[in-house]
């Protein structure tokens, strides 16, 4: 299962390569009104039984509503919000500290944090050399408006366009969208930052890689040595601790593989006794430069990407990714612009557990003369999407607790445990029973071709 708080670079590696399948989407009208009518009838958002190739949207209305929010409403632009503070700290490193640490004048990185999240599949996949049969393209993983348009799955989707506009050093921050599992670390909307720098006169890839590693080592030191304040100490800080104030944070480089970079690496830092994956990076592929109208014979460059929630949960001690979307003043008032404050839990509401068991169709049953299969298969992301559409942020986790294969029929049975818990209030048995009944009914109506309730 894909981890959504990996970054654009990381997710390209973690989506494992599997045989190509035809892409299927529900044949429902993509307008907001039709989506809302399906939801209000308790039928979920998607009529999954009626299938077609990618010509319709699989975006639920609550996801589309957040995608259409104004730039000032986005979490990474809300003053005092942890994600906004983290963005500003990283931008400050590239604006004020980078040149000094490398012994040369500061580099002017253009900053973008209001680019629209609707992008073409060409920008999101093709120009980044993502293979046509790559699992990341499937509608079980990506939100499609139509066959050629998606909600960006990573901020890397803007890199080639900005290169075509003439930018050679830039940072892009934005909300990204991915259909994924449900737990305290995963949410269908999260936030990433991409950085790109292109050099003229085509320096060697070895030189570019060394510059990249030096740059990101400095970023790790700057970010993880930023003063951490308690709730009682909220005086704004303007810089990280000086070299004399603290020992360097241990880091290590791990070989990786991304389609849009060469000599790809992941940067990890030793934090509180564990190695924490911080970002992915590498030397930009020549064909990606060409897609950005940059001649790779005369230029070379590097790129990196990181996930803001992943870092903010660690640095701010936020235990549940849903809290970043909270409007509860007990959460909001704990934070101040420019200050990394340790989150103080204000409540611990009890969970409510509900199990659901089903026979699933997760293997192709037949093939045509060419060896290809028809029809869709059960995918956990479809189940997670269905539950989230009905329960919203009341669902905390969906986990597989049991499974077996019938010895005669070879059918697979899976039992999932759904954990309901609100970060802001206690839940009643009545409302959870109502939601769980809707979940079962939607599985029966909308997933009957791939799942049979037990």
Domains of the chain: 64-341 (3.30.930.10), 349-454 (3.30.70.380)
pLDDT digits (tens, 9 = 90+) for 38-88: 333 333 333 222 233 565 799 999 999 999 999 999 999 999 999 999 999
CA–CA distance, 70 with 422 (Å, rounded to integer): 27
Mean pLDDT of 1-19: 37
Distances (CA, A) of 377 to 23, 178, 198: 11, 19, 43
Phi/psi zone of residue 44: left (φ > 0), alpha (ψ -120 to 50 degrees), beta?
left
How many other C-beta atoms lie within 10 A of the C-beta of residue 77? 19
CA–CA distance, 395 with 376 (Å, rounded to integer): 26
pLDDT digits (tens, 9 = 90+) for 185-244: 999 999 999 999 999 988 899 999 999 999 999 999 999 988 876 544 555 555 555 455
188 closest CA partner among 241, 151, 231: 151
pLDDT digits (tens, 9 = 90+) for 127-139: 999 999 999 999 9
CA–CA distance, 300 with 332 (Å, rounded to integer): 43
> What pLDDT score was predicted for residue 249?
93
CA 47, 49, 55, 58 torsion-angle sign? positive
Distances (CA, A) of 386 to 42, 133, 147, 320, 402: 11, 25, 22, 21, 20
Distances (CA, A) of 36 to 33, 150, 313: 5, 20, 33
Residue bearing the bigger pLDDT, 38 or 392: 392
Contact present, 26 and 47 (Cβ < 8 Å) = yes
Q: Is the pLDDT of residue 145 over 70?
A: yes
pLDDT digits (tens, 9 = 90+) for 31-48: 333 333 333 333 333 322
DSSP secondary structure code for residue 96 in this structure? I
> What pLDDT score was predicted for residue 356?
96
pLDDT digits (tens, 9 = 90+) for 280-338: 999 999 999 999 999 999 999 999 999 999 999 999 999 999 999 999 999 999 999 99
- Tokens standing for 126? 């093709």
> What pLDDT score was predicted for residue 240?
57
Contact present, 185 and 126 (Cβ < 8 Å) = no
As to burial, measured by CB atoms within 10 angstroms (0-12 exposed, 13-18 middle, 19+ buried), residue 344 is exposed
> What pLDDT score was predicted for residue 228?
72
Mean pLDDT of 401-423: 94
> What pLDDT score was predicted for residue 104?
64
- Tokens standing for 350? 């009890």
180 closest CA partner among 362, 388, 405: 388
355 closest CA partner among 391, 390, 385, 400: 400
- Tokens standing for 238? 């303007």
What is the percentage of the chain residues whose pLDDT exceeds 70?
A: 80
Upper half-sphere CA count for residue 21 (Cβ side, 13 Å): 19
How many other C-beta atoms lie within 10 A of the C-beta of residue 193? 27
Q: Is the pLDDT of residue 15 over 50?
A: no
CA–CA distance, 296 with 282 (Å, rounded to integer): 15
Q: CA end-to-end span of the chain, whole Å?
A: 24
Q: Is the pLDDT of residue 350 over 80?
A: yes
> What pLDDT score was predicted for residue 126?
96
Mean pLDDT of 4-13: 41
> What pLDDT score was predicted for residue 190?
96
Reduced to 3 states (helix: H, G, I; strand: E, B; else coil), residue 442 is helix
CA–CA distance, 25 with 347 (Å, rounded to integer): 40
Reported as a pLDDT band with limits 50, 70 and 90, residue 99 is: low
Q: Is the pLDDT of residue 376 over 90?
A: no
pTM: 0.82
Which of 23-32, 226-235, 242-251, 339-348 has the least mean pLDDT? Answer: 23-32
Q: Is the pLDDT of residue 352 over 90?
A: yes
Distances (CA, A) of 259 to 9, 131, 294: 9, 8, 18
Q: Is the pLDDT of residue 256 over 70?
A: yes
């Amino acid at each position: 299962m894909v981890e959504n708080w990996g970054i654009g670079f990381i997710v390209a590696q973690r989506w494992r390569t599997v045989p190509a399948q035809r892409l299927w989407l529900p044949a429902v009208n993509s307008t907001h009104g039709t989506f809302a009518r399906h939801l209000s009838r308790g039928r979920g958002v998607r009529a999954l039984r009626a299938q077609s190739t990618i010509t319709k949207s699989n975006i639920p209305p609550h996801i589309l509503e957040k995608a259409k929010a104004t730039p000032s409403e986005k979490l990474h632009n809300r003053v005092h919000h942890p994600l906004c503070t983290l963005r500003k700290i990283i931008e400050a490193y590239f604006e004020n500290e980078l040149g000094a640490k490398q012994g040369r004048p500061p580099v002017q990185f253009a900053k973008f944090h209001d680019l629209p999240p609707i992008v073409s599949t060409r920008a999101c996949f093709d120009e980044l050399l993502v293979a046509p049969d790559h699992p990341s393209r499937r509608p079980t993983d990506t939100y499609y408006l139509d066959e050629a348009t998606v909600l960006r799955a990573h901020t890397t989707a803007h890199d080639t366009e900005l290169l075509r506009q003439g930018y050679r050093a830039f940072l892009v921050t934005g909300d990204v969208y991915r259909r994924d599992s449900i737990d305290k670390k995963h949410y269908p909307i999260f936030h990433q930052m991409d950085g790109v720098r292109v050099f003229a006169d085509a320096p060697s890839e070895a030189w570019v890689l060394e510059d990249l590693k030096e740059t990101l080592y400095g970023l790790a030191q700057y970010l993880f040595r930023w003063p951490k304040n308690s709730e009682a100490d909220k005086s704004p800080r303007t810089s990280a601790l000086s070299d004399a104030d603290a020992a360097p944070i241990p880091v290590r480089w791990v070989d990786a593989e991304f389609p849009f970079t060469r000599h790809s690496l992941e940067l990890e830092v030793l934090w509180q006794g564990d190695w924490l994956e911080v970002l992915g990076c590498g030397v930009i592929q020549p064909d990606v430069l060409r897609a950005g109208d940059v001649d790779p014979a005369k230029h070379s460059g590097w790129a990196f990407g990181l996930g803001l929630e992943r870092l903010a949960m660690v640095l701010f001690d936020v235990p549940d990714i849903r809290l970043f979307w909270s409007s509860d003043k007990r959460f909001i008032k704990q934070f101040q612009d420019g200050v990394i404050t340790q989150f103080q839990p204000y409540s611990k509401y009890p969970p409510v557990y509900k199990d659901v068991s089903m026979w699933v169709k997760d293997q192709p049953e037949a093939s045509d003369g060419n060896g290809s299969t028809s029809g869709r298969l059960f995918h956990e992301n479809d189940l997670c999407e269905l539950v989230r559409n009905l329960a919203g942020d009341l669902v905390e986790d969906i986990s597989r607790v049991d499974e077996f294969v019938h010895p005669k029929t070879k059918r697979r049975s899976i039992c999932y445990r759904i954990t309901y818990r609100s970060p802001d209030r206690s839940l009643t048995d009545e409302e959870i029973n109502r939601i769980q009944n809707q979940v079962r009914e939607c599985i029966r109506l909308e997933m009957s071709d791939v799942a049979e309730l037990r």
